Structure 1
Amino acid sequence: MPHKLAYQQPIVTAADLSISRRLLKWITHFLAIFGLLLIGLSVLLYLQGQRATRIFDEEFIGFFGEFVVQIMKTDMASAMLIKIPLEPTITIKQTVASLKKYAEQLNLKLLASYPLHQELEAVTGKPYRFMEVFQFCDAQVATTLLNYNPDFAFHLPYRIILYQDAHNQLWLATLNLNLLLHGTQGMDPNIKIKVLKIQDNILKMMGASAHGA
């Protein structure tokens, strides 16, 4: 005759119930406090975000969004630049001559140019792809900018780089000033217009030179 197994019911004491209630109460309080902290943090971040956006002008968020997209596609260094590829039939000599011609027409003084690839070759003893830096300046606008904030000296003069990439494609590149200008607090709109006009002229120079105009 088979034996029946007898299971003993666990005995729950009043002390056990008291501990369970205290534990449940502690968990409830913890979750409530955590929820309050989360709400408080969300409010703080919202207020900080509102305060930060008031520092910039209404166009900054759009430019910043495009900047982030470019970082995700390339990297930080590339995302900060505006680049135009040269047409295959355009030579370096033609491009340099065109840059100088348009700079003179647009009242941008060529302060200096230096073939960076030659310096790299001299240091490493190995040939390097073509890379030349051109520095342009509009003295009146530069003076206005520096009077407003001398830290702008870091971004002067305006640079255009003519370089060859690893695939032998030639490019013209310059720093995108939109984030800098639209993200600067309290800048006089007239100053901003002048600098953006210079950037527009630089892009016209680059576009014309890249297409052999």
Structure 2
Amino acid sequence: MGFLRNLLALVGAIAVAGGLYAYTKLGPVIAEFDPGATDMYRGFAEQLIKHKDPGVAMMWQVEVEEGISVEDVKESLKSLAAARNFLFVGEAPFYKQVQAVTGKPFRHVEFLSFCDARVGAMMADYRDEYTGFMPCRVSIVEGKDGKIRLFSMNLDMMIYGGKALPPELKSEALRVSKIIQEIMQGAAQGEF
């Protein structure tokens, strides 16, 4: 019994020492993170645990109401973006590329790209790596179940995931994030 007690005490002491070491090493680094980082990582972890897939955890998803066609969704996204001064900069009909390569029909998967050049320039000036987030994309996907859904990258990790962004860039990134979510929600309901 004494051996077991001593063994458990040793394991406990090692765990406490490890925790203190991690706190002293990581504490100063985490203190530099954006104040919203903890909530963002918690939400990401919840989605990751729920779906067991980081790709799902990193995306916004909106299901399109039945009866709304893919063409209506596309036009709605473009119209809603234009009303918010969010420039439509291109589309990539992936399903057509798959058909061309395989010779077989493929369900509708298409990528629409949008950009606010002013915010894009701010991001590029802040860090070259942030150009990887540009342009903002919304995919229109006919699922294997026949339902149409919209997907876009959740920008919260870029906005909150590390060292706080400069205030003006953070404000503009939050505005762009809101616009993307608004146009997805609106298009899914058939708004123009």
Regarding TM over 0.5, the answer is: yes
Q: 1:175 aligns with which of 140, 153, 159?
A: 153
Higher RCO (C-alpha under 8 Å, 6+ residues apart): 2
1:178/1:32 Cα in 2 relative to 1: closer, same or farther (>3 Å)? Answer: closer
Secondary structure class of the residue paired with 1:141: helix
Q: 2:41 aligns with which of 38, 41, 64?
A: 64
Q: Residue 45 in 1 paired to residue 35 in 2?
A: no
2:7 and 2:60 mapped to 1: Cα distance? 52
1:121/1:34 Cα in 2 relative to 1: closer, same or farther (>3 Å)? Answer: same
Shift of 1:30: 9.3
The percentage of aligned residue pairs carrying the same residue is 25
Deviations 1:151-196 (A, max 9, x none): 1011111011110111111011111111211123142122111011
After the TM superposition, which parts of structure 1 deviate over 3 Å for at least 4 consecutive aligned residues?
Answer: 29-39
Q: How does 1:1-213 map to 2 (within 5 A)?
A: 37-74=14-51, 75-213=53-191
Q: Is the 8 A contact 1:142 1:156 kept in 2?
A: yes
Greater Cα shift, 151-160 or 50-59: 50-59
2:103 and 2:29 mapped to 1: Cα distance? 49
Q: Is the 8 A contact 2:34 2:165 kept in 1?
A: no
1:34 and 1:121 mapped to 2: Cα distance? 59
Greater Cα shift, 58-67 or 31-40: 31-40
Deviations 1:60-95 (A, max 9, x none): 111111111111222111110011000011111111
2:42 is aligned with what amino acid?
Answer: G
Q: TM-score, normalised by structure 1?
A: 0.80
2:80 is aligned with what amino acid?
Answer: Y
Shift of 1:39: 3.6
Structure number, greater radius of gyration: 1
Q: Is the 8 A contact 1:55 1:183 kept in 2?
A: no
1:10 paired residue number: none
Secondary structure class of the residue paired with 2:65: coil
2:62 is aligned with what amino acid?
Answer: I
Q: Is the 8 A contact 1:56 1:185 kept in 2?
A: yes
